[in-house]
Amino acid sequence: MSRAYIAGIGLQGPGLAGWTDSLGVLRGERPRDALATAIPMPALLAPNERRRAGLVTRLALAVAEEALHHAALPLDSVRSVFGSANGDGQVVLKLLETLAEPDRPLSPTQFHNSVHNAVAGYWSIAAGSAQPVTCLGGYDATFGIALLKAVSEAIAERMPVLLCLYDAPLPPPLPDLPARDVIFAAAFILLPERPDACLGALDVTYAAEAATFADAAPRDPSLAALAMNNPAAMSLRLLESLAMEQTDRFALPMLDGRVTVEVSPCR
């Protein structure tokens, strides 16, 4: 069993604009507004990088910055684990359309923005950080896989780790898998030692026992609908439990196995 402590959270989803503003919804005190996901323009990026940064980059940078401010940690002080099933589908689509024509040149900017770690690259530029990043893909299991990896890294390296999750649906004709309709990003600052300002403790284990969506679905049906339609929004069950400061245990499906998460309040 691997234990880590949460010191900061960032969040952007439909009707969920930041951790503090979302607490009422996550605690079930008020309904979620039927608003589209806000896509902030990160002030961190230089103007020329801002121009190049696509939707998912802006989204991921916003939640990463929010989580680090929440944890009161310098932006360049954490290692990072980025998790995304789809990466930047808009960029990949433009390149695929160009590649379908034999002699059309590719855009060099789109090409270097097409790598799965482009978002993480823009993050390290924006944060002025030399800390290492890794970028994972795990299809609909991306949250559980990236959480297991981030907690492991915090423990193994004895360092704070930023876990940043983001996904947006692929544009047609690419399949609307595994993200459908919903644009979502969340970030967590994970520490190997309990911080003074602690939002919850996590015990994370992997087991080769199958689980289903229902084993990790958020309690609120409106939030469950988001989780069902975006791998990053699978973090909503954890976000609910942290907002309610409740003990919780749930199992995230990972192929024919599961990542079990036990949440305990720091009180």
Partner 1 sequence: MLPLDITHGTIVSALGRGAAATLASLRDRRTGLAPCDFAGVTAGYVGQVAGLDEHALPLPLAAFDCRNHRLADLALRADGFAEAVAEARERLGPARIAVVVGTSTSGILACEQAFQHRDPATGALPASFDYVHTHDIFALARFVRTALGLRGPAMTVSVACASSARAFMDAAHLIASGACDAAVVGGADSLCGMTLRGFAALELISPGPSRPCDAARDGISIGEASGFMLLERASRGHAGITLLGAGATSDGYHISAPRPDGAGAIGAMRGALAAAALPADAIDYVNLHGTGTRANDAAEDHAVTEVFGPGVPCSSTKGWSGHTMGSCGVLEAMIATLCLTHGFIPGCLGVTELDSSFRSGVTTANEDRPLRHVMSNAFGFGGVNCSLVFGHRA
Task: List interacting residues with partner 1 (CB under 8 A).
Answer: 1-2, 52, 76, 85, 87, 95-97, 99-100, 102, 105-108, 111-118, 120-122, 124-125, 127-139, 141-142, 145-146, 148-149, 151-153, 155-157, 172-175, 177, 205-208, 254-257, 259
Minimum distance from residue 161 beta carbon to partner 1 (Å): 10
Minimum distance from residue 78 beta carbon to partner 1 (Å): 11
Q: Between 63 and 141, whose beta carbon lies closer to partner 1?
A: 141
Residue 69 token pair: 């401010």
Q: Between 156 and 197, whose beta carbon lies closer to partner 1?
A: 156
Minimum distance from residue 200 beta carbon to partner 1 (Å): 19
Q: Helix axis angle, 55-70 relative to 118-127, nearest 10°? A: 50
Q: Between 172 and 221, whose beta carbon lies closer to partner 1?
A: 172
Minimum distance from residue 180 beta carbon to partner 1 (Å): 14
Contacts of 21 by beta carbon, 8 Å cutoff, 6+ apart: none
Q: Between 24 and 194, whose beta carbon lies closer to partner 1?
A: 194
Cβ–Cβ < 8 Å for 222, 213: no
Q: Are strands 161-167 and 79-83 parallel, antiparallel or unpaired?
A: parallel
Minimum distance from residue 62 beta carbon to partner 1 (Å): 18
User: Rounded distance, CA 156 to CA 140, Å?
Assistant: 26
User: Rounded distance, CA 139 to CA 181, Å?
Assistant: 16
User: Rounded distance, CA 192 to CA 154, Å?
Assistant: 5
User: Rounded distance, CA 218 to CA 226, Å?
Assistant: 9
Q: Between 9 and 254, whose beta carbon lies closer to partner 1?
A: 254
User: Rounded distance, CA 131 to CA 90, Å?
Assistant: 28
